[in-house]
Structure 1
């Protein structure tokens, strides 16, 4: 009996270890989470190829799995999924079905959504409404866009192109996701700017219409501009000579100013002295200006007989002094002013 017991014990241990390892492998292959979970549901307009056991992720980290996919209200897809109990979902949570790879596997990505409030959570058993969910991209429509290209290629070229696309995109689910997100952002931005783009196109149409309405004038403008350019090209030698002459004129003017700088400086200084002198004898200058018309009139009458002046001696006086006897000169009238014209 002892000889039989030892093999039986070994066989029992082997069977237990085999069953345990098989169970662990089965749990790993089935992607079963044995930890405590909370169950939620989400409504989608399309849940094609989403299967029970597919991942549920937050920021790319697996936090649960899809439990069931069913039809709700005969037109929507209802997805029941579980999330680890230690992961509380915000009340504004959003759900989107994304491609895990190009083979067709998909997963549910959860996000915070707009109006996130850390204090507001979605209770276990709650439902994410349709307006906060998004289905996966329809790859059929995407690859249908290649139909015109495939029709123009031979079967060998089509196979080669398909192989190259698969090689490039193989395992690049994140890259494809980023590309699609950026494309969606671009289309959203263009949609938001639809009014501005329409206004720009409308203004451009107005400009083109105006230009088209004045096509003849525009043609004449181009012809005249061409003639102007051709004339300038033909007269480039005289224009060059004129530029050289202007350069010589500028040099000569510079030399003239350099030579005249000192005399001009002296003239300005003398002009300042003259101004000071006139200002000091203001009364005399005013008297001269006041009686200048009368004097000019008298002088004009004097030269009325020809290009000479007639002078009349009306009165003459002299001074006589004798050295040693008369120290103060004595004034002696030599010719008194007896003529009528002198008295006038």
Structure 2
């Protein structure tokens, strides 16, 4: 023991204790110039003063003080003045290892560009701070998962899914292929879908701008809807009756179809005859309104008498010539196969209408064939032709009736016979009688015997 005492004294005498200035501050606090910033945390865990402040895992300062402001922890940091931090920097409470100490990590923002610079007295707000997960929290969550928190459900889902797909692998594979095709189609039409969504957005925007107008329209529509609701039973009954009417109409049409077709076929000859009548039908209706006088005779009717104008040519030479001339034959010429013209009083025949052929121009047998041409001196009007029955009917032509006897009003005398159905072209017809008589030229004998008549 005595030997150890001098040795211990010698050892202590040869060693000197270091000064406090040479001992580094705990937590890596800067020994030179520095600036202080305040960081707000919702939870600082077991962070203690003098803990390190690191940037990119390099210690640049230490925690000076931890205080509480309401439910927010305020941590004052002392950072080396050589370290420049952006004004929008973020801070987090982290752990050096699984069981290591806590420290504050300061880093530039990751979701936006760095801007500005932190200076003495600045604060990093609560919105830009966070903390790491504790080992106890990780182990607790793992224990909850392993103790039936979710694995049992996953096992049940896996077993039920395997049971459902057992023996249906082909159908499941086909469904996946169809789903892949569907998703691929959607991906190819992505631009169209985006345009449709944008158009729908514009539509909804315009509808939103016209919300007041739409609201007014809906309010104005409400009374009408109320009336329709009140008359719902009547409308339903009307629609039901309309359906029954449709069924009855269908039955009537089906039952009367044959009769309707027969009636239309029976109407066809009448319509054909009306087409053949042409302009004669409206002219007959016009004449019917003034029967028994022609339409233009109304100007000559004054009261209960009709004006008549007669012009008599009393040329002396013509009168003397007619007096000394031989009187016409009392009997009319008759031809075989043709009835004689009925004589009038005085032994004279009825005069023919202007433009008619004389009897001497007609054939002896009295029947004109379709190919008949008049002899010399018996010229027909230009374009007057006789067409065989069944030929195409020209405009304004006349068809000989079934009796074969021509009516009055043609260039042939009334009573002339032709084969039934023969067609006379329009130039063979005389101008219609108007009822106005301007004058009749004749000799004195005609005047005396009554040959001139209006």
TM-score w.r.t. length of structure 1: 0.36
Q: Which has the higher contact order (CA 8 A, sep 6+)?
A: 1
In terms of fraction of residues, the more helix-rich structure is 1
In terms of fraction of residues, the more strand-rich structure is 1
